[in-house]
Structure 1
């Protein structure tokens, strides 16, 4: 009889375990969710992601709390998440394109295709190049002329090595036949300070420079979108300046590998509703970000395509890792 009792207890335990597993996904979330934003607080990405997170949190039923983990051109936060966070849906991260690009340039602790669960693709940036308003460089043509006469003396600030701003500037310089000197920083606040203080000739960054441009302290020389911005109708695009490039570094949200598909679906739906929200779209428009939605499956496919496209760019620029 004792043996039958133990057998019954074992069967009951197995049954309870099988019931408990899906219940976790069904009840999710039961506590706040941490969203890692891998840039300093106060920049265009941080402000936009906070607006998205606030609305997504209302739809999913728990607050989505932003945790700024800057560094490594936007890779420190996602890499930390991939290495340490449980795949339970309570830690997710904004994924900049640097996460796909940096492993092509140097050894990294993560594999972009294996170490993340991609959830939803959200939006992209308006990048631009600014000079100090007091600078003699009043147009991009002025910069090119000076750089040809003074190779390497034109410096430019970006949010980090391997970012789209860094790679974009090197692509532009190669096509223009000039040599520029890159000065990496951690984010927009630092790049703004660098060009304002005369520590660098130029700044290449997303639209965190907007208030300073509007205040007349910085001069916007070009933007990298396909069309001119309604906010800066007098500023030419790269294509208008003779460079056949459109660079907007679109991004999304992912978690650690191994997340439950039901949890992924809940997060996807909450973020999709957030970027459809008029108030969120107003915030994105303020920083010249355009909604660029991709579903979970589309996002996974996009990652592979992006890695291959970046591989060619990095190789052509001579920046690919050799080991």
Structure 2
């Protein structure tokens, strides 16, 4: 074989070998993708994430399987990523508690600034405060007045320590000189069951309470968005109650640190398309949630800023995880 021809053949073979990773990336995903959801089945996050993952399955041509890891205020999904292969087949929903909890304990289970690959931001919650329909308070202001006059008598449920619900309720207590007791639960279902049973006085949670409010079993005292909720226009916002707080806690998806940028792009684009699937959008509307998309790069920057801002707030409030 002439030397020039031999060099051409070898060069073509080398090119084929170098192209294989690219071809493998083009075929991603080639097997099911697992998504950890760190809240209990049936709650707001679980319902939204299952609708999203169903839509993503159709776009990827592979199952996108939800695996619940409830408890610990929503950090168990992030914690489960530690030590997993950064191949794009294992992801987790990332509530804002993943930025807070590590700054509230002596031995953090992970470092959100280094341990994750941020894929995309998805949406945010409608938060609100509810009481039983037979409770004596018909406004959040009435509840605050009662709590102020009766230190320690009000206990409120939330999805866990370090969640936006917990921290915002403690911010309100600090600003109003209130003493009340936080009772963390594994998810909205347990929280609302305890409220209906009279085991707690108040629930501060995401919109899993919506149907119970519509059915007349619970009373919605306020919501925490910038504007009143579409389905609950009679419920004032915190700002309308004289509390200058907006809390919607946007969240998204991340994988382990070290993921291939090309794989991240495939996941980002596929889940972005799934977000706009009509079935998923209908679920968001039912839960009074909105699309809050950020691409991978912007989400990574937002995560860094969230970690810094939350650290300042935690130190100011003196919060520690129990």
Tell me the TM-score normalised to structure 2 length: 0.92
Q: Does 1:58 align with 2:46?
A: no
**Distance in 2 separating the partners of 1:16 and 1:111:** 39
Query: Shift of the alpha carbon at 1:43?
Result: 0.6
Q: Does 1:309 align with 2:312?
A: no
SS in 1 for 2:241: coil
User: Counterparts of 1:222-233 in structure 2 under 5 Å?
Assistant: 222-233=222-233
Deviations 1:203-231 (A, max 9, x none): 00000001111111111011000001111
Q: Does 1:319 align with 2:319?
A: yes
Match of 1:183 in 2: 183
**Distance in 2 separating the partners of 1:63 and 1:307:** 32
Match of 2:237 in 1: 237
Match of 1:115 in 2: 115
Query: Shift of the alpha carbon at 1:18?
Result: 4.5
Match of 1:89 in 2: 88
Query: Shift of the alpha carbon at 1:24?
Result: 2.9
Match of 2:286 in 1: 286
Q: Does 1:265 align with 2:289?
A: no
**Distance in 2 separating the partners of 1:307 and 1:179:** 27
Deviations 1:2-55 (A, max 9, x none): xxxxxxxxx999988745433332221111111111111001110111111111
Measured on the aligned residues, the alpha-carbon RMSD in Å equals 1.8
SS in 1 for 2:40: coil
Deviations 1:278-304 (A, max 9, x none): 321111010011110101110011011
Deviations 1:261-316 (A, max 9, x none): 11111100011111122321111010011110101110011011111111121111
**Distance in 2 separating the partners of 1:275 and 1:15:** 38
SS in 2 for 1:240: helix
**Distance in 2 separating the partners of 1:142 and 1:152:** 16
**Distance in 2 separating the partners of 1:60 and 1:147:** 51
Gaps of 5+ in 1: 1-10
**Distance in 2 separating the partners of 1:206 and 1:225:** 11
**Distance in 2 separating the partners of 1:300 and 1:145:** 41
SS in 2 for 1:246: coil
User: Counterparts of 1:10-29 in structure 2 under 5 Å?
Assistant: 18-29=18-29
Q: Does 1:203 align with 2:203?
A: yes
SS in 2 for 1:73: helix
Match of 1:168 in 2: 168
The answer to whether the 8 Å contact 2:119/2:252 transfers is yes
How many residue pairs get matched? 310
CA 270–154 in structure 1, closer or farther in 2 if over 3 Å, else same: same
Q: Does 1:248 align with 2:253?
A: no
Match of 1:99 in 2: 98
The answer to whether the 8 Å contact 1:25/1:260 transfers is no
**Distance in 2 separating the partners of 1:66 and 1:174:** 38
Between 276-285 and 124-133, the greater mean CA deviation after superposition:
276-285
The answer to whether the 8 Å contact 1:39/1:68 transfers is yes
**Distance in 1 separating the partners of 2:87 and 2:17:** 17
SS in 2 for 1:135: coil
The answer to whether the 8 Å contact 2:126/2:223 transfers is yes
Deviations 1:138-171 (A, max 9, x none): 2212211211221111000001111110001001
